[in-house]
């Protein structure tokens, strides 16, 4: 009796395609983070996956579109974490500290994200500007910050003229610098910003810095 392989069902084909895309994005993330946009090779990405260069082009269209997809997924991870953050039950000081800690933890746990953002800055945000998805994704963190600031201002804890985007930049810059500049900072000052023994210190320092900014008396300009 001759056995005939049963053709894949539509649902299975969709799941297989999703797995293949995810695998390509996983490997592409590592390759772009390692070699940069110009140095990364689609051939190398294909060789490290269970697919072919032809299939990568089929799924994504080309190297540029693949890098854009990598960025979209990387930003999507932090945006999803921000959306799931529940701080409504906390007082404004604890809430803003929790948001800062979320960014601190995420950037530390996703060094490839830091490298990808650095690479995209070298390319002057060309891929982000061209991405319709990234153009709409915004930052849920800004909505959270605005709610916390409003609550803190109403209670008299926070200064009234603090801007949510400025505060987001303040939090992100410390968290980003700590990962992106680890090696140069260590070489210059002999201190590893990712030293596990100092992690709690830096995490608390970020929160203290943010709270000090929010509660400081402002001198009229």
- Alpha carbon of residue 72 to chain centroid: 9
Please state, in angstroms and rounded to a whole number, the distance separating the CA atoms of residues 141 and 100: 10
Q: Please, where are the H alpha helices in the chain? A: 10-39, 42-47, 53-60, 63-84, 92-109, 111-122, 126-130, 132-137, 140-154, 164-180, 182-189, 199-215
Please state, in angstroms and rounded to a whole number, the distance separating the CA atoms of residues 123 and 128: 10
Confidence of residue 88 (pLDDT cuts 50, 70, 90): confident
pLDDT digits (tens, 9 = 90+) for 55-70: 999 999 999 999 999 9
Distances (CA, A) of 208 to 15, 96, 101, 156, 196: 46, 10, 11, 18, 19
What's the predicted TM-score (pTM) here?
0.88
Distances (CA, A) of 17 to 55, 56, 68, 96, 129: 10, 11, 19, 40, 27
User: Is 31 or 4 the better-scoring residue by pLDDT?
Assistant: 31
Confidence of residue 12 (pLDDT cuts 50, 70, 90): low
Size of the chain, expressed as the number of residues it contains: 221
């Amino acid at each position: 009796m001759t056995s005939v392989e049963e053709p894949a069902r539509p649902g299975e084909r969709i799941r297989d395609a999703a797995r293949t895309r995810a695998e390509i994005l996983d490997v592409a993330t590592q390759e772009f983070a390692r070699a940069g946009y110009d140095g990364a090779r689609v051939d190398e990405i294909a060789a490290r996956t269970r697919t072919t260069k032809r299939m990568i082009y089929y799924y994504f269209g080309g190297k540029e579109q693949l890098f854009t997809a990598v960025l979209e997924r990387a930003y999507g991870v932090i945006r999803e974490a921000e959306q799931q953050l529940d701080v409504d039950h906390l007082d404004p000081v604890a809430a803003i500290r929790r948001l800062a800690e979320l960014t601190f933890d995420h950037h530390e746990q996703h060094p490839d994200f830091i490298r990808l953002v650095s690479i995209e800055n070298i390319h002057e945000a060309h891929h982000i500007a061209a991405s319709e998805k990234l153009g709409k994704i915004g930052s849920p963190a800004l909505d959270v910050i605005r709610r916390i600031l409003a609550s803190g201002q109403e209670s008299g804890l926070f200064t009234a003229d603090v801007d949510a985007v400025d505060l987001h930049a303040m939090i992100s810059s410390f968290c980003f610098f700590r990962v992106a500049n680890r090696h140069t900072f260590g070489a210059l000052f002999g201190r590893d910003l990712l030293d596990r023994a100092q992690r709690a210190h830096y995490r608390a320092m970020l929160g203290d810095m943010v709270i000090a900014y929010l509660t400081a008396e402002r001198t009229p300009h």
